[in-house]
Structure 1
């Protein structure tokens, strides 16, 4: 992120995975999407891949760590229970809660992982502490919505996306975006207090509004906004035009955006299918005034700056 910018774009073509080689880790690779090197100060977002037979030993952190399963399946232990997490499964480990993984299937499992607050190196440890009393699970219950034994985990399927409507996020209701659907994943009702994750979706663009050249020249102020917390968008399907600090970029599956504190941003669907992304918010938005829409403020006549104002 440039010194005068508060947003960043990471292309899928730029990503490289590295092996995790800590004690007890087997068959684990991680790909960093967003961290401090991109200008983030509140979170770290990675993709974790666990090979067949791979294990992540028991450990805990001084941050919340959430996940959303992208491909495959794996066993996950947290809070005294073990679960079978399949595609669409999500959950998190609270601060200082031991957790562990094992892949007993015949294919690799891949999930996106969010850590908030951002990991910090303390006494030569980068936020990961061994918990040898917790062994990687060998079996686990299926995640079922409504089962009170399923703590810290949940399950998503496509039919859970609500109808399109005006944006209605925590602390913000605005009609600048009139057709959006969102499904909360990790949030306070699941036990998370440091961050939020959810799926967001925009409908296909009308055929006469898919010309990228025209959109590049358009004024995005009607949908551009900023806020006092960080967001990350990781695109899962579709094509979009992203407006980031007055610049425009075409993005697609696997691309990731950081909207830092005060960074102006907006996304517009330019494809013929729904545009879907996984989004993070951290710190958690306030109950009021959690988004500032530039169109609303541009319509006002600003007073000149006077001494003492």
Structure 2
């Protein structure tokens, strides 16, 4: 059995994602998680992540700023505390709606072995391996 933990994002290492985004991993299998992982991704002004999908369900909550959530042909403006549910295998992306201020999301994946597949290249990576 793993032990309870308090994670302080300001004290954890952030990993550059490219395109003006950086991620701080939080709960992971390294801590003993068995059914989900999560983290925080910050987007600089005008930043976006590429179209992708996962091998599991995902939920994202906008913590700060203004975002656009693209899923299929739909584009949704998000305000802080708006929360998404994205089924397994559904292509999507998030964009910072501001060219002058940052935005921040909390993401949760429904598997400790979550993967991200980029639509443009077809490359699949383990989410945990990218950020550890």
- TM-score (norm. length: structure 1): 0.36
Q: Distance in 1 between matches of 2:113 and 2:28?
A: 9
Measured in 2, the distance between the counterparts of 1:50 and 1:13 equals: 16
Aligned to 2:78: 85
Q: Deviations over 1:130-181 (max 9, x none)?
A: 223xxxxxxxxxxxxxxxxxxxxxxxxxxxxxxxxxxxxxxxxxxxxxxxxx
CA distance in 2, matches of 1:83, 1:63: 21
Alignment correspondent of 2:15? 18
- The yes-or-no answer on 1:131 pairing with 2:119 is yes
Higher-Rg structure is 1
The offset of 1:79, in angstroms, is 4.2
- Alpha-carbon RMSD across the aligned residues, in angstroms, is 1.6
Select 2:6's aligned residue among 4, 9, 14.
9
Counterpart position of 1:74 = 67
- How many residues of Structure 1 are paired with residues of Structure 2 in the alignment? 119
Counterpart secondary structure, 1:101: strand
Tell me, yes or no, if the aligned pair for 1:8 and 1:39 is still in contact at 8 Å. no
For residue 55 of structure 1, the aligned residue among 45, 48, 59 is: 48
After superposition, give the CA deviation of every residue in 1:30-55 in whole Å (9 maximum; x if it has no partner): 01111011110111110011111111
Matched, 1:118 2:112: yes
Q: Could you report, residue by residue, the CA deviation over 1:8-64 in whole angstroms, capped at 9, with x for unpaired residues?
A: 22234532211014xxxx101001111011110111110011111111111101011
CA contact (8 A) 2:23 2:39 kept: yes
Q: For 1:58-109, what per-residue CA distance to the aligned partner results, in whole angstroms no more than 9, with x for missing partners?
A: 1101011111111101111114311011112111221000001222302111
Cα separation, 2, equivalents of 1:6 and 1:83: 39
- Written as runs of structure 1 = structure 2, the 5 A alignment for 1:36-55 is 36-55=29-48
Residue aligned with 2:30, SS = helix
Matches of 1:110 and 1:11, distance apart in 2: 15
Residues 196-252 of structure 1: CA deviation (Å, up to 9, x unaligned): xxxxxxxxxxxxxxxxxxxxxxxxxxxxxxxxxxxxxxxxxxxxxxxxxxxxxxxxx
Alpha-carbon contact 1:74-1:103 (below 8 Å) kept = yes
Unaligned runs of 5+ in 2: 121-132
What secondary structure, in the 3-state scheme, does the structure 1 residue paired with 2:55 have? coil
Where does the alignment leave 5 or more consecutive residues of structure 1 unmatched? 121-126, 133-309
Q: Is the 8 A contact 2:22 2:42 kept in 1?
A: yes
- The alpha-carbon distance between structure 1 residues 65 and 5, as it changes in their structure 2 partners (threshold 3 A), is closer
Given that 2:42 and 2:104 are in contact with CA atoms closer than 8 Å, whether structure 1 keeps it comes out as: yes
